[in-house]
Amino acid sequence: MSVRTAAIALAASFLATAGASAGDFSTFQSLGFSPDGKVYAFEEFGVQDGSGFPYSTVYFIDTEKDAYLAGTPIRVRIDSEDAGLDKARADSFGKAKALFDKHKVLANPGVLAAFNPMGEVGADRKRIEYLQHAVEPVPGGSYALALDEIALDLSDKCRDITPDGGKGFRLKLVRRDGAAADTLLHEDKRVPESRNCPLSYQISGAVTFNPLGADPVHVALVLVRSFGFEGADGRWIAVPFRP
């Protein structure tokens, strides 16, 4: 047995005996949009499983290209168990200051229209419905997103860890302004290495923004569970679209 295979077997044994109770699910924090809606920013932060190191990652997304801005994400991890999470977050925000100032995302938070994190019992992990405006009486109808997991080829890294198969996801808009819809928003063709051998996905929220003189921008929030050192880890994917 190779050292790599032995390490994987040991980790799998630990998961079986520990009940996968010590994974690291990062906290999601929506930060906001540029005034024209062309940039969206969010943060995920937490304490890394295994190491106990605090981390904070700030993402800036081009909502027209569905791509990270150059030089991002901004990742900070403090390699000390004695460091506070506040320090990691302050450091990442400090490194992101120039982009905050340039795109003014903190001045335009948008609306956290729906949010079902991993701890909510009974939440539908494959569908979410929401209203894009936070006002009453509510103008217009609801929007709904539906997620399907899809089988994809395994990378060499994940072949021993997730032998049941590689997983990606497909995301559709299935309700638009109160009417039925069937619009493909995202479909994986491969699984990025950054997802670290995904185990499952869920549609966990939506953020909306209505820029002056421009079309509304929505962002679907997808929580991906992946293989971790002490259990399943949870990280966030933001998928922007214009309905």
- Tell me what pLDDT residue 201 has: 95
**Positions in the chain whose pLDDT score sits under 50:** 1-21
What is the value of pTM for the model shown?
0.87
- Tell me what pLDDT residue 163 has: 66
- Tell me what pLDDT residue 192 has: 87
Burial of 137: CB neighbours in 10 Å, binned 0-12, 13-18, 19+: exposed
On the CB side of 152, how many CA atoms lie within 13 Å of its CA?
A: 22
- Tell me what pLDDT residue 51 has: 84
- Tell me what pLDDT residue 27 has: 95
Q: Which residues pair with 170 in a beta bridge?
A: 148, 187
Contact 91, 109 (CB under 8 A): no
| Residue 5 CB coordination number (10 Å) | 10
- Tell me what pLDDT residue 9 has: 41
- Tell me what pLDDT residue 237 has: 97
Burial of 211: CB neighbours in 10 Å, binned 0-12, 13-18, 19+: middle
Structure tokens at 171: 């995301």
On the CB side of 226, how many CA atoms lie within 13 Å of its CA?
A: 21
What span, in angstroms and rounded, lies between the C-alpha atoms of 196 and 198? 6
What span, in angstroms and rounded, lies between the C-alpha atoms of 52 and 24? 10
Structure tokens at 206: 């939506």
Query: What's at 230, amino acid-wise?
Result: E
